[in-house]
Structure formats: structure tokens, C-alpha cells
């Protein structure tokens, strides 16, 4: 795979980036784009993560989600440890090409390393100032991370 030419074009003018058909991602200073994964059935946001050029190229080539871990500084295929892979139904890129949206079929019980379906299991109440108390929503643990992630 790494012997193949890059799937990415050079960044052109704003018009080329926003209204063109060439994939010319804007990687940030750390070489990353943001990726939002939503559940293809429910539409819920499952997770937000990052892709470097290699993760993005592998995701496009394979139709499975690959990410780059900022904390571990490592490429990873979603599900490689947990089995909870993400098969991509549709992939989109945004206007300035620094964020991608993938609609996925989530294998296994969930996307979140804490054992939940989604990483977004707490709501932030609105309309108040001062300290905030989060409210759990859809926060049921569907699997035990200790069973799923080998240490």
C-alpha cells in the first residue's frame, strides 16, 4: 500500500480546495485532520479522533477506519484490539478539507474505550452560568473494557 502514489493532491487556491474535486487535505501542524464518526443507522456521533496521512490513505483504500493516536503517537486500525471495527458506509470531507466525516457500521457493542456505544454519553446542561454538573445519557456500559482491551 505504501508503494502506491499518494491519494492526495497539493493544496491549491481557496476555490480549488472548496469547489474542486481533488482531495487535498489540510493537515495541521502535527500532521493530522479531525475525523468524526457517526453511526450510519442512528446518526449519533460515536467518536471524534484524528488521522494522519497514512491513516487517511489506509481508510480510503480499505473502507475501514484507521486513526492516529495522539497520546500513543501510533497508527491504529479501529478494532484491532477490541474487535470493534468500523466499516465505512460513506466518507465526506469538509469545505476547507481539514475534517472528515465517516458514517460507519460499528462492529461489536460500542465505539468508546469506556464500554459505551458512543464516547458522548454525558450531556452539558445549558442556560446556566457557573459550575456545571454533567448528566449521563445513554451511558450504560455495554462491555467491560477490561475484557476487551488486553493490557
| 74-77/66-69 β-pairing | antiparallel
How far, in Å, CA of 107 to CA of 91, rounded?
17
Residue (123 or 142) nearer to its own copies, CB: 123
Per CB under 8 A, the list member of 13, 73, 133, 151 interacting with its own copies is 133
Q: Based on CB atoms, which residue is closest to its own copies, 70 or 80?
A: 70
Whole-angstrom distance, CA of residue 67 vs CA of residue 69: 6
How far is the C-alpha of 150 from the C-alpha of 76, rounded, in Å?
A: 15
Buried b (16+ CB within 10 A) or exposed e, 16-30: ebeeeeeeebebeee
Q: Taking the complex as a whole, how short is the minimal distance between the CB of residue 17 and its own copies, in angstroms?
A: 10
Residue 8 makes contact with its own copies by CB under 8 A: yes
Query: Which cell is 90 given?
Result: 460513506
Minimum distance from residue 37 beta carbon to its own copies (Å): 10
Q: Does 63 bind its own copies (CB under 8 A)?
A: yes
The single residue among 5, 10, 13, 146 that binds its own copies, judged by CB under 8 A, is 5
Q: Which of 77, 94, 107, 148 binds its own copies (CB under 8 A)?
A: 94
Residue 115 region, left (φ>0) first, then alpha (ψ -120 to 50), else beta?
Answer: left
Q: Which residues bind its own copies (CB under 8 A)?
A: 1, 4-5, 7-9, 18-23, 34, 36, 38, 42-45, 47-48, 57, 59-63, 88, 90-96, 99-101, 112-114, 116, 119-137
Amino acid at each position: 500500500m505504501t508503494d502506491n502514489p499518494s491519494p492526495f493532491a497539493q493544496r491549491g487556491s481557496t476555490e480549488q480546495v472548496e469547489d474542486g474535486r481533488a482531495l487535498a487535505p489540510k493537515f495541521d501542524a502535527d500532521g493530522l485532520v479531525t475525523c468524526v464518526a457517526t453511526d450510519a443507522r442512528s446518526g449519533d456521533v460515536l467518536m471524534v479522533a484524528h488521522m494522519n496521512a497514512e491513516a487517511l490513505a489506509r481508510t480510503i483504500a480499505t473502507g475501514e477506519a484507521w486513526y492516529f493516536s495522539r497520546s500513543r503517537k501510533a497508527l491504529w486500525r479501529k478494532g484491532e484490539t477490541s474487535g470493534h471495527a468500523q466499516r465505512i458506509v460513506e466518507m465526506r470531507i469538509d469545505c476547507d478539507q481539514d475534517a472528515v466525516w465517516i458514517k460507519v457500521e460499528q462492529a461489536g457493542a460500542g465505539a468508546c474505550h469506556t464500554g459505551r456505544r458512543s464516547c458522548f454519553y454525558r450531556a452539558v446542561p445549558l442556560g446556566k452560568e457557573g459550575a456545571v454538573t454533567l448528566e449521563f445519557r445513554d451511558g450504560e456500559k455495554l462491555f467491560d473494557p477490561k475484557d476487551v482491551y488486553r493490557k
